[in-house]
Amino acid sequence: MNSFDYTGKTALITGASSGIGRDFARQLANRGVSLILIARSEKKLQALATELVKTHGVSIAIIVQDLVEPDAISNITERLEKLRRYPDILINCAGFATYGSFEKLSIDRQRDEINVNCLAPVELTHAILPGMLKKGSGVIINVASTAALQPDPYMAIYGATKAFLLSFSSALWAEYRSQGIRILALCPGATDTAFFDVVNAEEASVGKRMPADKVVTLALRAVDANRSYLITGCGNWLLGQLHRFVTRKRLLLIVEKILRPRSP
């Protein structure tokens, strides 16, 4: 196993103010990686930056940006040019879900979901990958989900966006694996973050929640192994294999029953 060398590296992390993104920031700072942290909440970013500078003494820049905005990625790339910071590691962690009957959910909110979960990672990857290729080294981690492994009734757009990320990441891994670029689609199951508070539906949480720091530890091990994707946890991996043993129709009926709303 050829471990990735983090010495002197800079990582850009979206969704860095909480959950998995925050734990990526903490574990990379512990390895001496300089950080560019992106999220909507300036207060949370400042608090995290203060913590990491005090604990690890690393260089940190913050960019307050809502990825829903049409000019979000151009704003980020312009800021990177002004800072003269060129990421060696890109972690596309920002994302959110909508839950409920498709026709009852706001189409504007679902459009935002597609933009944040799909378009923003694609545009950031397209902007940052050329610099990695020039160096002959880089890491891209796209945070997908076990929701990517099958269609998800009542979370139709979320599951579709995560399936997109899994396919996109795997294709790029095959394209660039021989050019020094490591690309990982991270597929965690239920994780102990504020995600389900935002979704506001406990039935969307399937199985025991894994601590976010453990998800990140497993992801960085997968990067060292140059894996193309990772499903975290044995239980989640087993659930991801159901399609091998039942028909697609049966699988959809099982998932629909699991995710079906339990209250009005």
Q: At what angle do helices 107-114 and 156-176 cross, to 10 degrees?
A: 20
Strand partners, 38: 14, 63
Q: Distance of CA 154 to CAs 157, 160, 264, Å?
A: 9, 11, 13
Cβ atoms of 29 and 53 closer than 8 Å: no
H runs (alpha helix) in the chain: 19-30, 42-56, 72-83, 107-114, 120-135, 156-176, 195-199, 212-224, 234-239, 248-259
Q: DSSP code of 1?
A: -
**Residues with a known catalytic role:** 158
- The span from the CA of 69 to the CA of 112, in Å, is 9
Q: What is the DSSP string of 224-253?
A: HTT-SEEE-SHHHHHHTTGGGTS-HHHHHH
Three-state secondary structure string covering 85-128: CCCCEEEECCCCCCCCCHHHCCHHHHHHHHHHHHHHHHHHHHHH
